[in-house]
A and B are shown apart, each in its own frame.
Chain A
Amino acid sequence: MVFNSVDFLVFFPIVVLIYFLVPKKIRYVWLLAASYYFYMSWNPKYAVLIAVSTVITYLCGIFLGKTEKKKTKNWILAGTFVTNLGILFFFKYFDFALANVNRVLGQFGVGVIEKPFDVLLPIGISFYTFQTLGYTMDVYRGETAPEKNIFKYALFVSFFPLLAAGPIERSKNLMKQIQNAHTLRLWNYDNITSGAAMMLWGYFMKMVVADRLAILVDYVFLNYTSYGMTALIMAAVFFAFQLYCDFGSYSMIAIGCAKVMGFSVMENFNTPYFALSVKEFWRRWHISLSSWFRDYLYIPLGGNRKGKVRKYINLMITFLVSGLWHGASFSFIAWGGLHGLYQVIGELTMPVREKIVKALHVKTETFSHKLLKGLVTFALVDFAWIFFRCSSLTESVSYIGRMITNPDPWFLFNGSIYTLGLSRMELGIALISLFMLLIVDVIRYHKGMQLYEYLNTQSLWFRWGIYIFLIAAIFLFGIYGPGYNAAEFIYFQF
């Protein structure tokens, strides 16, 4: 069940209520049951898969704990990685791999290999696979003690708020909290209200902003051959915000759900579009994934400790893999590669850029200079998002080609922008809600506070007014009702 569905709105309060009432020692058992129920609501068969991954990595942890020999440890770790990544590879990349194998075979005139069956991507597999492999690495490195209780471990793997699309948690954070779940004081006013407030903001981002922008974005991307620079740039920019709101909202709701239940889950987005460089962007966007890649791929590869050239290679590898993680297609790999290139080129050109700035006597600590860096970074990231959104590499190139070679500034002024799926009023609502998002992110950026934290510093009438306003806005302007399916979250496909 998706977060923005009636099913979840019934499921969650019931689960929370019972969770609050069961004996302390049973809490994690109830949550485990609820999590598997949640997972099976997509497809009961998937539960087998996640159980298998759970058991394999659990055993890995146990065996690692039982031996001191480096060599044995290496074998255990390698075996676990191969099996789990193998499962992930099969479900995620089988079709892609087969298609490419067939393409190559086709070049040699050899017959294509038939697909024996349809491989459906189990929801959340990319996320929980990484979460479990992170755990095994932590145990291997001696940073975490192996969890002896398989049910507590299973809860760590399947914790329902994070199940479908993260954040990808760590053993040192979530696992520890699960182990201490019986000590939590649950009827906690602050946890419940702030968790609910986070969920509320998440629902606003998803239903009012993301799903509304999606209408225009889908319309233009579907018919991109009919449009020129203006509409294509507009759709690309809107997509940047749609993706942020869609994915960010999922994380927000997930973190909020966890908070209501007394768990503190890591932040996944920190005003990403305020980043002043692509490098910084990756410290603010999908933080749980980028930090996972840093800790479990980039650093094991050597990170920046083996010289500049090796550093660039490691960066490229990491980002290409990240691209691949996102999807089984060349356009995702291209997207990842672009981000790797951005950073490599960024570092290579750093001395030159610093020289120019000095020569021009640019005041670097000013808002204007930071704005410039921010806008350039956004442009680079948004350019890459085109590869992310288009359904293939060819289409991405074609889209960009059209975007660059068909200037049509009049499009912006002759009323055409209201023909892209969103009427004038709807476009107005979209822009106003984006402005609200801007304010909330500015508060986060400058005061370091989430929306609810900031509202807690304000008067009651203001706080309540904002919350009631948000609820009313979702009621009126949310994208739901007859004709709409509870719009899936974009990151479910990963």
Chain B
Amino acid sequence: MKKNICRIVGFLLILSIVMFKLNDVVAFKYTDGVTQMEHFYDLEEGTVDVLVLGSSHAFVDVNPAMLYEEFGIASYDLCASMQPMWNTYYYLEEALKYQEPKLIVLDVYRLVEAFPYAKESKVVKNTYGMRFSRNKYEAIQVSLAEEDQGDLLMHMVEFPSYHSRYVDLTPEDFNRGFVVNDSYKGAHPVTEVVPMERPEVSEITETLEIEKKTMEYFEKILLTAKEHDIPVLLMNAPYIVQPDDKKVFNTLEEYLTVQTVYDKVSYVDFNGMYDEIGLDFATDFADHNHLNVNGLPKFNQALGSYIEENYELPDRRGDEAFSSYVAQ
């Protein structure tokens, strides 16, 4: 009897080890939304002063390395490609379980989201970096349309989505858990240089209503920040703004002037400051949405200065606890 129980336990133990290792190999390791959240959990407690949230505009353009070197700011890009506001909200809730940021920098690009459900598969996949938690459950639930709710459980366990990746395996897939954090504080700068045309949208004054669900979760983010007494810096990173996008940002500005609930919320639209920043549209952009390594220093200088001037943040340079921020 005892022998049989030992056998069963032994078998299940070995099976579990094998299956978890196998899972590690085929799991998604997307660096545009999965690894940011995954590696966030590895951070030392109390080492994130500035929590950057939003879409790829944030994790490509906002560079924690530059911000630390120039200004001593300890920041982390907890963002994901195409991330709608409702997932950003859950990212924030999850982050606050582990860190106590002194400032939230929220990229407002996805306020332009026009639909309550993005057919973009990335939206759900970007929750895969989250730990098994209520936040993850709700993030998936809110991302799935009514007819897809049956897939909720599948996304919670994740592996049905990626088990057949055996055709796409790369050396990186076999390093999970072994190789130290390969993305620097969530940031992923790009090197392509594509000449862009400077957008001419400054004259547009019309407004375009922000989609209901996006607005709902945007306000939830502001409310959570308020409850934790964390100031929020709404930021619009430089990109090739489309006319309809501009209308949405006009709506945002209008909203901010009339609302009285959130007192520690400011907004900086870097798209009105191309010349102050010194951006050159011929060399500084990788595509319509992102700056490249030429534009990064300019933008981060502007962002860092703004933060330094307007917020009381400790200079973390030289601090032992923040040695992970020192560029490798």
Contact = CB atoms under 8 A, between A and B. Distances in A.
Interface stretch (A224-232, A266-274, A347-355, A477-485): A477-485
Interface string A441-469: 00000000000000000000000100110
B128 to A, nearest CB: 13
B154 interface: yes
B160 interface: yes
A478 B15 contact: no
Contacts of A482: 151, 154, 160-161
A415 B166 CA distance: 22
A478 B26 CA distance: 14
A475 B163 contact: yes
A481 B14 contact: no
For chain B, give the interface size range: 10 to 19
A472 interface: yes
A6 B151 CA distance: 11
Contacts of A477: 164, 166
A472 B25 CA distance: 12
Interface residues of A, number: 16
A423 B19 CA distance: 26
A410 interface: no
Interface in B142-188: 151, 153-154, 159-161, 163-164, 166-167
B270 to A, nearest CB: 38
A476 B160 contact: no
A478 B11 CA distance: 22
Given A189-B4, A464-B11, A472 B18 contact: yes
Interface in B1-49: 4, 11, 14-15, 18-19, 22, 26
A475 B22 contact: yes
A471 interface: yes
- Tell me which of A472, A477, A482 has the highest count of chain B C-beta atoms within 10 A of its own C-beta: A482
Given A6-B153, A468-B18, A471-B19, A478 B161 contact: no
A193 to B, nearest CB: 8
A402 B160 CA distance: 39
A475 B14 contact: no
A120 interface: no
A477 B165 CA distance: 10
A476 B166 contact: yes
A475 B18 CA distance: 11
Given A6-B153, A468-B15, A476 B4 contact: no
- Tell me which of A425, A478, A480, A481 has the highest count of chain B C-beta atoms within 10 A of its own C-beta: A481
A475 B20 CA distance: 11
Contacts of B22: 472, 475-476
Nearest to A479: B164
A425 B167 contact: yes
Contacts of B154: 6, 481-482
A456 to B, nearest CB: 12
A467 B7 CA distance: 14
A473 to B, nearest CB: 10
Contacts of A423: 167
A190 to B, nearest CB: 9
A476 B164 contact: yes
A263 to B, nearest CB: 21
Contacts of B26: 476
Interface string B120-149: 000000000000000000000000000000
Contacts of A471: 15, 19
Given A425-B167, A481-B163, A472 B19 contact: yes
Interface in A388-446: 423, 425
Given A6-B153, A468-B14, A481 B164 contact: yes
A65 to B, nearest CB: 43
Given A6-B153, A189-B4, A464-B11, A478 B18 contact: no
A475 B153 contact: no
Contacts of B11: 464, 467
Nearest to A474: B163
A472 B26 CA distance: 12
Nearest to A465: B14
Nearest to A484: B160
A189 B14 CA distance: 19
Contacts of B166: 476-477
Contacts of A468: 14-15, 18
B159 A475 contact: yes
Contact of B160 (A189, A464, A472, A480): A480
Nearest to B153: A6
B24 to A, nearest CB: 12
A476 B163 contact: yes
Contacts of A478: 163
Interface of B: 4, 11, 14-15, 18-19, 22, 26, 151, 153-154, 159-161, 163-164, 166-167
26 contacts: A6-B153, A6-B154, A189-B4, A423-B167, A425-B167, A464-B11, A467-B15, A468-B14, A468-B18, A471-B15, A472-B18, A472-B19, A472-B22, A475-B22, A476-B26, A476-B163, A476-B164, A476-B166, A477-B166, A478-B163, A480-B160, A480-B163, A481-B154, A481-B161, A482-B154, A482-B161
Given A6-B154, A475-B22, 14 more contacts: A425-B167, A467-B11, A468-B14, A468-B15, A468-B18, A472-B18, A472-B19, A475-B19, A476-B22, A476-B26, A476-B166, A478-B163, A482-B151, A482-B161
